[in-house]
Amino acid sequence: MEVLFVLVPLGVLVALIAGALFLVAATGGQFEDLEAPANDILGDDASPTPPA
């Protein structure tokens, strides 16, 4: 039972840190365009390098 005095505040601290990190990412534009990076990888390179 005494371990709850450590685990409950530790869990609350971890939840607050995770929430703060999510808010920083959300307000920083991290989740603005989720499709473009996935589609960019499928496109061809503009100028392929010749073999050496």
Mean pLDDT of the region 19-47: 87
- Distance between alpha carbon 40 and the CA centroid of its chain, in Å? 19
Number of compact structural domains in the chain: 1
How far is 36 from 40, CA to CA, in rounded Å? 6
What residues contact 25, with CB distance under 8 A and at least 6 apart?
31
Q: Is the pTM of this model over 0.95?
A: no
Show the domain range for 28. 1-41
Q: Is the confidence at residue 48, as pLDDT, over 80? A: no
Q: Is residue 49 part of a domain?
A: no
How far is 28 from 20, CA to CA, in rounded Å? 12
Q: Is residue 52 part of a domain?
A: no
Q: Is residue 51 part of a domain?
A: no
Eight-state DSSP code of residue 30: T
Q: Contact at 8 Å (CB) between 31 and 25?
A: yes
